[in-house]
Amino acid sequence: MAAGCHKGLLIPQGLGLLYVKADLQELQPAYLAMSSLANPPEDYIARPSDLAPRKDAGRFEFGNYNLPDLHALSSAIDLITTVGVPQIEEHVLSLGDHLVSKLDALGVDLVGPRERSKRAHIYVMALPIAEWIDYLSQQQVRVSPERGGVRISFGLFNTLADVDQVCALIEARLRKSTTPRAAVARDLD
């Protein structure tokens, strides 16, 4: 299992986790470094005669550890544990409920499930990316195109005010648009 630590684990990009089942020897590293060798030489000069990788997951280690992100990960895990995963899930779903309500009032559809039990923290608004990317970027909104629409992703740190702010920007753009709202949703089908 491999996973990045940014976003949900609250740290910057640049650190990932890798779990390798102890007896999974078929999976071998693409690169070797001193830390990945079974017998690293004391003088740190690798010799072609002894490049056997470690038997454990350490065989995938190469290079230096990202110490700042490791410390950040430790603190982030403490924070997540303190707040509680169920509470974080409820928080992001509540933000989604608020978003769905606001989008309904604006006549903007979602691409994907509307049912709370089938949603998570990522929503795709049926706003054609080609028509919205420049506007949202000008409003200092980082845009991620996905499935033909504009993606919004919530985390522990987001608030109802964030939802209100992005919906206010959408409403402002819709007021200026000459495209009827129903046509916007049809264009994505």
Q: Look up the CATH number of the domain holding residue 172.
A: 3.90.1150.10
Tell me the pLDDT band of 189, cut-offs 50, 70 and 90. Answer: very low
Query: What average pLDDT is seen over the chain?
Result: 88
Together in a domain, 8 and 73: yes
Together in a domain, 95 and 168: yes
The answer for residues whose C-beta is within 8 angstroms of residue 10's C-beta and 6 or more apart is 72, 76, 79, 80, 155, 156, 157
Determine the pLDDT at residue 73.
Answer: 96
Out of 40, 64, 83, pick the residue that ends a domain: 83
Displacement of CA 101 from its chain's centroid (Å): 24
Tell me the pLDDT band of 188, cut-offs 50, 70 and 90. Answer: very low
Token couple for 106: 């604006």
Render pLDDT for 17-67 as a digit per residue (tens, 0 to 9): 888 887 888 888 888 888 889 998 888 888 889 999 998 888 988 878 889
Out of 83, 117, 149, pick the residue that ends a domain: 83
Token couple for 101: 């309500």
Together in a domain, 97 and 66: no
Together in a domain, 169 and 106: yes
Q: What residues make up the domain containing 152?
A: 85-187
Together in a domain, 90 and 181: yes
Tell me the pLDDT band of 178, cut-offs 50, 70 and 90. Answer: low
Together in a domain, 48 and 10: yes
Q: How many domains does the chain have?
A: 2
Together in a domain, 59 and 78: yes
Together in a domain, 157 and 94: yes
Out of 34, 56, 83, pick the residue that ends a domain: 83
- Provide the whole-model pTM: 0.76
Neighbours of 123 (CB within 10 A): 23
Together in a domain, 58 and 95: no
Together in a domain, 79 and 93: no
Together in a domain, 178 and 109: yes
Neighbours of 152 (CB within 10 A): 24
| Ramachandran angles phi, psi of 42, nearest 5° | -60, -30
- Kindly provide the residue ranges of all beta strands, DSSP E only, lying in the chain, ordered along the sequence: 2-4, 16-18, 110-111, 122-125, 144-146, 149-153
- The one-character DSSP state at 123 is E
Please, is 169 exposed, middle or buried when counting C-beta atoms within 10 Å of its C-beta (0-12, 13-18, 19+)?
middle
Q: Give the H or E element holding residue 183.
A: helix 181-187
**Highest-confidence range of 5-14, 121-130, 164-173, by mean pLDDT?**
164-173
| Ramachandran angles phi, psi of 89, nearest 5° | -60, -45
Together in a domain, 69 and 98: no
Token couple for 185: 């949703």
- Whole-number Å distance between alpha carbons of 38 and 36: 7
Given a contact cutoff of 8 angstroms between Cβ atoms, the answer to whether 100 and 72 are in contact is: no
